[in-house]
């Protein structure tokens, strides 16, 4: 079975599925389950009475601002879905009792936001501001957002040209551009016709430009289809994504390439499965 962690499209789809529904709600109580990757960082009672603001995304993190009536008492929660986490937002009356893998409930006047994470690599962390520690530390190494106009073909090529690692590894690192997780990196490289083993410093400007366009097109299509559901992912409504049904190479090792008829290969790079067509994707 192929396992895939929630990536940028899944996190953004999740955000869109509950952000408007929870905005303006008042926090009534907080329930903590088993410890997650990092501690909450404050007493749960500190969150009670606060008002939820507009949820935003940075990379694979969600920022849930929590305003207070007291001057200077801002802050919020930085959430991460880890390897297998998902968020569900539901009306209190319809909420099932917390199960073994339900590790955080934010009970509000509009419903309950629940983090479910079987592997417990996810996180819910309090921070006094998005640009203050610990949030600023956790976000400091993130690269540009893929649709940011400041990320141009020239800046993308320059950043790649400074790396000697394989281009697939550079995409997964997320410090040049965020969002191209394993599924989407494989698919974007296929669309761009680039072998995943090519070293970044060997990519020409035209090939780098083509790769950036492919990353953007791949992520845009994934957002349109609600992300990918390979095992655990559901949005906050409980709805599956459908992008995996359109994957051209990911998870298709041993099958024929839909473009050229060659056999799709699987290799391992940095302990992650890479799928590619050895005929369509050139070194």
- In the predicted structure, residue 237 carries a pLDDT above the cut 90: no
For residues 234 and 251, give the distance between their C-alpha atoms in angstroms, rounded to a whole number.
19
pLDDT at res. 73? 76
Which pLDDT score is estimated for 227? 84
Q: Return d(Cα 43, Cα 46) in angstroms, integer.
A: 5
CB neighbours (10 Å) of residue 110?
18
Task: Quote the tokens at residue 112.
Answer: 């309950």
Asked whether the beta carbons of 107 and 28 are under 8 A apart, the reply is yes
pLDDT tens string 34-90? 999 999 999 999 999 999 999 999 999 999 999 998 766 789 999 999 988 999 999
Question: How much is the pTM?
Answer: 0.91
Helix (H) or strand (E) holding 66, with range, is strand 61-67
**For position 95, what pLDDT does the model report?**
75
CB atoms within 10 A of CB 213: 15
Q: What is each CA distance from 76 to 70, 108, 223, 241, in whole angstroms?
A: 14, 14, 26, 28
Q: CA 29, CA 45: separation in Å to the nearest integer?
A: 7
Q: Is the dihedral of CA 84, 88, 94, 99 positive or negative?
A: positive
Cα 163 → chain centroid = 23
Most confident segment among 18-27, 82-91, 243-252: 18-27
Neighbouring-strand partners of residue 240: none
Query: Structural domains in the chain?
Result: 8-139 (3.20.190.10), 153-276 (1.10.8.50)
pLDDT at 4: 53
Q: Give the H or E element holding residue 126.
A: strand 123-127
Task: Identify the H or E element spanning 51.
Answer: strand 51-52
Whole-angstrom distance, CA of residue 64 vs CA of residue 57? 9
pLDDT at 69: 83
Checking if the pLDDT of 235 tops 50, the result is: no
Contact 63, 46 (CB under 8 A): no
Report which DSSP code applies to 3.
-
Known catalytic residues?
Answer: 6-7, 60, 272
Answer yes or no: are the C-beta atoms of 251 and 173 closer than 8 Å: no
DSSP, residue by residue, 4-50: ----HHHHHHHHHHHHHHHTTPBEEEEEE-S--SS---S-GGGGTT-
Tell me, what's the pLDDT at 2? Answer: 37
pLDDT of residue 241: 60
How many Cα atoms occupy the beta-carbon half-sphere of 28 within 13 Å?
Answer: 11
Query: How many beta carbons lie within 10 A of that of residue 59, not counting itself?
Result: 20
pLDDT in tens, 172-222: 999 999 999 999 999 999 999 999 999 999 999 999 999 999 999 999 999
Cα 138 from Cα 229, distance rounded (Å): 26
């Amino acid at each position: 079975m192929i396992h895939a962690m929630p990536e940028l499209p899944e996190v953004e789809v999740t955000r869109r599925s509950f952000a408007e529904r929870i905005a303006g709600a008042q926090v009534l109580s907080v329930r903590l389950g088993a410890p997650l990757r990092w501690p909450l960082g404050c007493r749960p009672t500190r969150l009670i009475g606060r008002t939820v603001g507009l949820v935003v995304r940075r990379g694979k993190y969600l920022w849930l601002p929590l305003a207070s009536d007291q001057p200077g008492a801002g802050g919020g929660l930085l959430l991460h879905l880890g390897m297998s986490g998902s968020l569900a937002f539901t009306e209190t009356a319809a909420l099932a009792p917390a199960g073994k893998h339900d590790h955080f409930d934010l009970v509000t006047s509009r419903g309950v936001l629940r983090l479910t994470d079987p592997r417990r690599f996810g996180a819910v962390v309090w921070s006094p501001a998005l640009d203050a520690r610990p949030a600023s530390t956790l976000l400091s190494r993130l690269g540009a957002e893929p649709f940011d106009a400041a990320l141009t073909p020239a800046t993308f090529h320059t950043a790649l040209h400074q790396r000697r690692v394989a281009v697939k590894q550079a995409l997964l690192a997320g410090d040049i551009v965020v969002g191209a997780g394993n599924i989407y990196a494989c698919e974007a490289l296929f669309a761009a016709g680039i072998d995943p083993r090519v070293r970044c410093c060997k990519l020409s400007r035209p090939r780098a430009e083509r790769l950036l366009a492919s990353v953007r097109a791949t992520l845009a299509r994934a957002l349109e289809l609600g992300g990918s559901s390979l095992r655990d992912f559901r949005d906050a409504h409980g709805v599956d994504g459908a992008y995996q049904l359109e994957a051209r190479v990911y998870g298709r090792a041993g099958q024929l390439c839909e473009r050229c008829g060659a056999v799709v290969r699987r290799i391992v790079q940095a302990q992650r499965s890479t799928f590619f067509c050895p005929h369509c994707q050139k070194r």
